[in-house]
Structure 1
Amino acid sequence: MESLKINKINKTVGGTIQITGSKSESNRLLVLQQFYPNLKIENVSNSDDSKLMQKALASSLNEINIGHAGTAMRFLTSYFSVKENSVIVLTGSHRMKNRPIKILVDALRDLGSEIEYLEKEGYPPLKITGKKLDKDFVEIEGNVSSQYISSLLLIAPTLYNGLRLKFKGEVTSVPYIKMTLTLLAELGVELSWDDDSILIQPKPIINNKTVVVESDWSSASYYYSLVSLSPNSEVKLSSYKQNSLQGDSVLAKIYENLGVETTFGVNSITLKNTGNLNPSKLMNLNLIGAPDIAQTVVVTCFGLGIECYLTGLHTLKIKETDRLVALKNEIEKLGGVVLITNETLNLKSTTKINENISIATYDDHRMAMAFAPLAIKVSIYIEEPNVVSKSYPDFWEDFEQITS
């Protein structure tokens, strides 16, 4: 088993880093580009997920394997459903075959899609026969993964009558749905979101359009953690916007309570350690709109020796791994105490961190990157460090640049 040792960092963290484009924005735009070939995309993510998406969309094979890429599985299920005269088997890794997709498949079938399960009912692999869909109404639970909802929204403008998507119950992952809708609106798609329904008008063609992808806020989270844990540190990151489409941009507000000040420049942010901690603000922090930063926030709090209680984490159980269990396992190896339910995590405050612990990453890129900043406090080992390529292939080079 490959392992990376990160020796305890004995210097003030500082430097400037250019972070790759947002995986979330890139993957949405790559699908839309298939429908609208005169759409040009700049600063596309260099993550494994986005490369897999590009490869799958360009493939002439009848079977496409997307590995661990959950976004690709969800978005491509809808995409191939409307790709007329195609028959595709969409499969993935062993973990992917155990990640549920029934809610999305049911919604697509309600629209007239032809999709079969080839192994286990409700899970990939899928056999998808592409066809023209003429139905224009579907209902879906509001508290499901935003990727199911965005997957439907991405094909909506290509449907002959557009789409009315009605939510049953409260909608949870609002920021990622808004990201999809904003990108559609940028392309000139007419849409509205009123109460429990989103209405998308058909849009067969668009004018020539160039969209520049903002850098990934999830990737920025690991530098927020580093700066929080490193007194007097300062790091500049680009390319970022103050009015971001990404839910994870809430980092700037959350990390104010963890001693990090964010200053917005022209397409950049500067993170500065202030040392001003406000732990009470972390005692009922709802991350329903930004679950991907939960691991980072928990590890930062552990490194600072402060308690946190996070809610809205139910989607973490069906990510690359069960992230709640993974966090509990690894932090307890380090000497922490973590209590979890299906949707909450309570980290107790502790003053001691065990040294030279080997952190298992569970085929999960965010486990590797979230734990790396603890090297400010102790030497640490990261197992299977190359897992970071899923979202941020240059992470270790960038991390070393500002810490050595």
Structure 2
Amino acid sequence: MESLKIHKIIKTVKGDIKITGSKSESNRLLVLQQFYPNLKIENVSNSDDSRLMQKALESTGNEINIGHAGTAMRFLTAYFSVKENAKIVLTGSHRMKNRPIKILVDALRDLGAKIDYLEKDGYPPLSIEGKKLTKDFVEIDGNISSQYISALLLIAPTLKNGLQLKFKGEITSVPYIKMTLTLLAELGVDLTWDGDSISIHPKPIIEDKTVIVESDWSSASYYYSLCALSPNSEIKLSAYKKASLQGDAVLASIYKNLGVDTSFKEHSILLKNTGNLNASKLMNLNLIGAPDIAQTIVVTCFGLGMECYLTGLHTLKIKETDRLVALKNEIEKLGGEVFITNETLHLKSSKKIKENVSIATYDDHRMAMAFAPLALKTSIIIEEANVVSKSYPTFWEDFKKVTT
């Protein structure tokens, strides 16, 4: 599938969708399963990223190419650093070779890891020789991608002396760090988070354990957007729980202000458009703990003719694309007005949306899925629509189920 034209949707959105397991939870558990083979995982994500992670972890080759999968690049850098006798080259797509990894490599080198850059200093591809790491203290900036921090935390219980990780400055993306620590605690790892320090004790073996991965909240965001843009809509999504580990679960409270009510059932959520929307009100949000839903929220507000001001978005510049620039480009093609800085986005309210605009997706799955719900307002074309497979391979089939 290259470009996909979606004709203006005139029916009320209704349906029942089962969403694959969380990519974030799955990728953390897949790494942990390598250390603890008696860990069983159910409802693993069927995303490209998780399949690439599985393939890389099972690889017997000397070179591993993880394409656009940023999480895999970070987690595998740490994993292969502690895999004794491993000698591998970790590489990726052209975009991946321009995504920084120096902060993580520096931290791993501080612990004694042997990692070399093969091309540009501070960027993949990397040459890694796995070895036993005995140092147990590392200091790292708190104001960085949580994936660097989680990569270190995932290997921590396997280190001979465990790990004390000390943060410098403000800590961002806290929900993702908490997710990693909660999963470790579920496996019986002894740990503490006290102020600016996390201490993790060694845990060479665990008891037999089965973990069921909760469905992905980032993927749920596109149905929240559909509901917000479709009066009287109602969508059931499974499998979700109220006590979620995922930062993107804040969708339920954010979208209440956009006219969508969330009811938690035993293993599902029911989304309903309540019509309670104040379109004149500015949507002002700090998304530091949930940056992956920024694109969805901006497009929803644009479709509703609302103004929004989002902060805490500094990590979006180093994702699959510079998501702030991409959002500005595409919304302005549709007739909107967007102002961005390195960490904020301000969308002005817009009265009219242009028809049949072709949306560039920039090799970014979230651009394709975030803009799709605008078809409730106007016919739209999504370029390179297959890019959704990175996190949600069945998105277009599921989208069709609730909109036709």
TM range (shorter): over 0.9
The answer to whether the 8 Å contact 2:240/2:269 transfers is yes
- CA-to-aligned-CA distance 1:350-387 (integer Å, 9 cap, x gap): 11000000000000000000000000000000000000
Deviation at 1:280, TM superposition (A): 7.5
Q: Does residue 8 in structure 1 map to residue 31 in structure 2?
A: no
Match of 1:247 in 2: 247
Deviation at 1:283, TM superposition (A): 3.8
Match of 1:292 in 2: 292
Distance, in Å, in 2 between the alignment partners of 1:234 and 1:97 is 42
Match of 1:90 in 2: 90
- Over 3 Å off, 4+ runs: 278-283
Match of 1:390 in 2: 390
Letter in 2 for 1:226: L
Q: Does residue 72 in structure 1 map to residue 84 in structure 2?
A: no
The equivalences for 1:95-114 within 5 A come to 95-114=95-114
The equivalences for 1:138-157 within 5 A come to 138-157=138-157
Match of 2:273 in 1: 273
- CA-to-aligned-CA distance 1:195-243 (integer Å, 9 cap, x gap): 1000000000000000000000000000000000000000000000000
- More displaced stretch, 88-97 vs 279-288: 279-288
Letter in 1 for 2:259: G
Distance, in Å, in 2 between the alignment partners of 1:169 and 1:238 is 38
Aligned residues: 404
Distance, in Å, in 1 between the alignment partners of 2:6 and 2:230 is 15
- CA-to-aligned-CA distance 1:141-188 (integer Å, 9 cap, x gap): 000000000000000000000000000001011000000000000000
Letter in 2 for 1:90: L
Match of 2:55 in 1: 55
- CA-to-aligned-CA distance 1:324-361 (integer Å, 9 cap, x gap): 00000000000000000000000000110000000000
Q: Does residue 35 in structure 1 map to residue 35 in structure 2?
A: yes
Letter in 2 for 1:159: L
1:258 match: secondary structure: coil
Distance, in Å, in 2 between the alignment partners of 1:86 and 1:134 is 17
Q: Does the C-alpha gap of structure 1 residues 334 and 166 become closer, same or farther in structure 2, counting only changes over 3 Å?
A: same
Distance, in Å, in 2 between the alignment partners of 1:36 and 1:280 is 53
Distance, in Å, in 2 between the alignment partners of 1:137 and 1:281 is 48
Q: Does residue 311 in structure 1 map to residue 311 in structure 2?
A: yes
The answer to whether the 8 Å contact 1:257/1:281 transfers is no
Letter in 2 for 1:13: V
Letter in 2 for 1:23: K
Cα RMSD of the aligned pairs, angstroms, is 0.9
Distance, in Å, in 2 between the alignment partners of 1:280 and 1:155 is 48
Letter in 1 for 2:292: D
Match of 1:325 in 2: 325
Letter in 1 for 2:153: L
The answer to whether the 8 Å contact 2:43/2:212 transfers is yes
- CA-to-aligned-CA distance 1:27-85 (integer Å, 9 cap, x gap): 00000000000000000000000000000000000000000000000000000000001
Match of 2:210 in 1: 210
Structure 1 gaps of 5+ residues are: none
Q: Does the C-alpha gap of structure 1 residues 194 and 280 become closer, same or farther in structure 2, counting only changes over 3 Å?
A: farther
1:46 match: secondary structure: coil
The answer to whether the 8 Å contact 2:299/2:374 transfers is yes
Percent identity (aligned): 83
Distance, in Å, in 1 between the alignment partners of 2:167 and 2:368 is 35
Distance, in Å, in 2 between the alignment partners of 1:137 and 1:225 is 44
Distance, in Å, in 2 between the alignment partners of 1:63 and 1:84 is 16
Distance, in Å, in 2 between the alignment partners of 1:354 and 1:266 is 41
Distance, in Å, in 2 between the alignment partners of 1:106 and 1:212 is 34
Letter in 2 for 1:187: L
Letter in 2 for 1:264: F
The answer to whether the 8 Å contact 2:279/2:305 transfers is no
Letter in 2 for 1:358: S
Q: Does the C-alpha gap of structure 1 residues 229 and 114 become closer, same or farther in structure 2, counting only changes over 3 Å?
A: same
- CA-to-aligned-CA distance 1:377-402 (integer Å, 9 cap, x gap): 00000000000000000000000000
Letter in 2 for 1:119: E
Structure 2 gaps of 5+ residues are: none
Letter in 1 for 2:134: D
Distance, in Å, in 2 between the alignment partners of 1:81 and 1:241 is 35
Distance, in Å, in 2 between the alignment partners of 1:336 and 1:123 is 35
Distance, in Å, in 1 between the alignment partners of 2:366 and 2:73 is 19
The answer to whether the 8 Å contact 1:282/1:310 transfers is no
The answer to whether the 8 Å contact 2:281/2:307 transfers is no
The equivalences for 1:363-374 within 5 A come to 363-374=363-374
Distance, in Å, in 1 between the alignment partners of 2:400 and 2:71 is 29
The answer to whether the 8 Å contact 1:257/1:279 transfers is no
The answer to whether the 8 Å contact 2:281/2:306 transfers is no
Deviation at 1:278, TM superposition (A): 4.1
The answer to whether the 8 Å contact 1:172/1:288 transfers is yes
1:72 match: secondary structure: helix
2:276 match: secondary structure: strand
Distance, in Å, in 1 between the alignment partners of 2:336 and 2:110 is 47
The answer to whether the 8 Å contact 2:359/2:382 transfers is yes
The answer to whether the 8 Å contact 2:78/2:155 transfers is yes
- CA-to-aligned-CA distance 1:104-141 (integer Å, 9 cap, x gap): 00000000000000000000000000000000000000
Q: Does residue 302 in structure 1 map to residue 317 in structure 2?
A: no
Q: Does the C-alpha gap of structure 1 residues 278 and 189 become closer, same or farther in structure 2, counting only changes over 3 Å?
A: farther
Distance, in Å, in 1 between the alignment partners of 2:251 and 2:90 is 34
Distance, in Å, in 2 between the alignment partners of 1:219 and 1:315 is 19
Distance, in Å, in 2 between the alignment partners of 1:21 and 1:282 is 33
Match of 1:219 in 2: 219
Q: What is the TM-score of this pair, normalised by structure 2?
A: 0.99
Deviation at 1:284, TM superposition (A): 2.7
Distance, in Å, in 1 between the alignment partners of 2:277 and 2:318 is 32
